[in-house]
Structure 1
Amino acid sequence: MAKYDPLRDYLRKQKTDELELSFVEMERKIGYMLPKSAGLPQWWANTTDPATTHVQRKAWGDAGFDAFLIAGADRVRFKRVRSPGSNA
């Protein structure tokens, strides 16, 4: 199991197209502290590249979401952009 799979699985189960999670909520789900770099917008940058080496991006992308850091709030807004597992 990859480090961010619990986040991916949680997002896949969501019925809403948008949700916000705090860093603490995400850390509880994955069982690890997020790295300090998670406070930077580029850590949350979205990609459609299936070969990405950024495991966190792969997690929410595989769940069908894009992620957007809410500056200064230690929170992230996830917005559904496609069906889970879809490459479109």
Structure 2
Amino acid sequence: MGKYDPLGGYLRRLKTDSVDLGFAEIERILGAMLPKSAQRPQWWANQIDPQGRHVQTRAWREAGYDAFPEAGAERVRFVRRQV
């Protein structure tokens, strides 16, 4: 299991189209700390990197969500993608 799989599982179980999570909540879901680079909006990019460097993106994208960080707030809104 990948480090970010618990986040993907959490999002898959949601019945809502969006959810706001603080970094502390995400860390509880993961059972691990987010890296310092999560402070940067680029870390939350919604494009899956073909080289696999951004493994975190795969977790929310495969769950059907896009991530939108709140600048300077240590919060992220996950919004269900329209298919």
* TM-score normalised over the length of structure 1: 0.87
The unaligned stretches of length 5 or more in structure 1 are 83-87
Residue 50 and residue 73 in structure 1: after superposition, are their counterparts in 2 closer, same or farther (change >3 A)? closer
Q: Secondary structure at the match of 1:6?
A: helix
- 1:30 pairs with 2:30: yes
* TM-score normalised over the length of structure 2: 0.92
Residue 38 and residue 57 in structure 1: after superposition, are their counterparts in 2 closer, same or farther (change >3 A)? same
The unaligned stretches of length 5 or more in structure 2 are none
In 1, the alpha carbon distance for the partners of 2:2 and 2:63 equals 14
C-alpha RMSD of the superposition: 1.5
Deviations 1:3-30 (A, max 9, x none): 0000000000001101100000000010
Cα pair 1:7 1:29 within 8 Å, conserved: yes
- 1:59 pairs with 2:59: yes
Counterpart residue number, 1:4: 4
In 2, the alpha carbon distance for the partners of 1:12 and 1:76 equals 16
Q: Aligned pairs, how many?
A: 82
- 1:72 pairs with 2:69: no
Q: After TM superposition, which residue ranges in structure 1, 4 or more long, deviate above 2 angstroms?
A: 49-52
Q: CA deviation at 1:51?
A: 3.5
